Amino acid sequence: MLILGFESSCDETGVALYDTETGTIKGESLFSQIDMHALYGGVVPELASRDHVKRIAALTRECLKEAGASFEDVDYVACTEGPGLAGALLAGMSFANSLAFSLGVPFIGVHHLEGHLLSPLMGNSSLKFPFLALLVSGGHTQILAVRRVADYELLGESVDDAAGEAFDKTAKILGLPYPGGKYLAQKAQKGRERHMAMLAKDPKAEPRFVFPRPMLGSGDLNMSFSGLKTAALTEVARHKEEMGGNLDDEFVEDVSYAFEEAVTDVLARKVAKALKKTGMRDVVVAGGVSANLRLREKFAKLRGRSHFPALGLCTDNGAMIAHAASYHLDRAREPLAFGVRPRWSFEDCFKKK
């Protein structure tokens, strides 16, 4: 069976053709609107919707061409139904449902987070249910027990900012471009190298800044990241007062290092606790922040086995949607009578009937 999957919930238009027999992606196309939104320092919903409409047909053609397939080969059409920006979701859902209708094939609506959650299963035969999942994106930070498809239990989550959101807000405070996660990570690497050089000379050398590890002692699996942004803000204000207006590179690198260490420590330690609590051995890390290399390093040291999506599959894409749809062929329905679910909670989507 071939599933043509679409993703348009935020600022990426993604299309992919997934083959259920081989478990592989036959063709894929993706356009990121990041450069357009960067001008405004954040995603502008109206512009996002318009851009999805503008590009989705050409991206579909590109994907099928790469797969060496035609529209007649498609057995199912799938698309992110929610959560996300209403207009952006509508752009993808209208196109996908119209296409399914015109081809006379069934349609499958996918929960965006399930797309992320199951994506490390693609091409990874060593990963089997049940497993633990850490979803870390711009909008979510959740630890879930994944017992089987559609049986997901929320074990803990951020009580305030999502980890990606904290990366982006702190990057902004440090004057880095939007979305700042990956830029902050690059700066942090330099700060870390400097600290490693200090440690080589003096094994007790402290880093220049140490940020708190919020809620580590909370006794549950919840997390909090908004205080780290405040810690960065406090250092920036102090630095500006002492040194004048400009933030020099070394300062930005040292604050980035302190921030990244704190976030990745909290995530790794909460997941270690969840592994112990559930007795599970595997942990899947998904969502944009799973691209973070320091996080990957720390997870490699956990007692469980950690699984990350390929770097290209960490951020939003069509492949994860087509792949997630392959587990829900029984949910396929007639196209066209559709709506979008901008605020679709995971719990509502998979509530036991």
Residues of the shown chain interacting with Zn ion in the complex, contacts defined by CB under 5 A = 137, 316
**CB 1, CB 12: distance < 8 Å:** no
- Please identify, using beta-carbon distances, which residue of 80 and 278 lies nearer to Zn ion: 80
- Please identify, using beta-carbon distances, which residue of 261 and 316 lies nearer to Zn ion: 316
The CA-to-CA distance between both ends of the chain, in Å, stands at 28
235 binds, among ligand KG4, Zn ion, none (CB under 5 to 8 A by kind): none
In terms of DSSP H, where are the helices of the chain?
Answer: 34-38, 45-67, 86-103, 112-118, 163-173, 181-201, 226-243, 249-278, 293-300, 318-325, 346-349
181 binds, among ligand KG4, Zn ion, none (CB under 5 to 8 A by kind): ligand KG4
176 binds ligand KG4 (CB under 6 A): no
214 binds ligand KG4 (CB under 6 A): no
- Please identify, using beta-carbon distances, which residue of 99 and 192 lies nearer to ligand KG4: 192
H-run or E-run covering 282 = strand 282-286
Residues 270, 321: Cα–Cα separation, whole Å: 28
Name the residue number minimizing CB distance to ligand KG4: 288
Phi (first) and psi of residue 91, to 5 degrees: -60, -50
Among 92, 164, 214, 309, binds ligand KG4 (CB under 6 A): 164
138 binds ligand KG4 (CB under 6 A): yes
181 binds ligand KG4 (CB under 6 A): yes
167 binds ligand KG4 (CB under 6 A): yes
- Please identify, using beta-carbon distances, which residue of 74 and 118 lies nearer to ligand KG4: 118
Helix, strand, coil percentages (3-state) for the chain, rounded to 5, are 50, 20, 35
| Distances, alpha carbon 352 to alpha carbons 89, 153, 204, 324, 349, in Å | 25, 11, 53, 19, 9
270: exposed, middle or buried (C-beta count within 10 Å: 0-12, 13-18, 19+)?
buried
179 binds ligand KG4 (CB under 6 A): yes
Contact set for ligand KG4, span 5-24 (CB under 6 A): 10
The contact set with ligand KG4 (CB under 6 A) reads 10, 137-139, 164, 167-168, 179-182, 185, 287-289, 291-292, 315-316
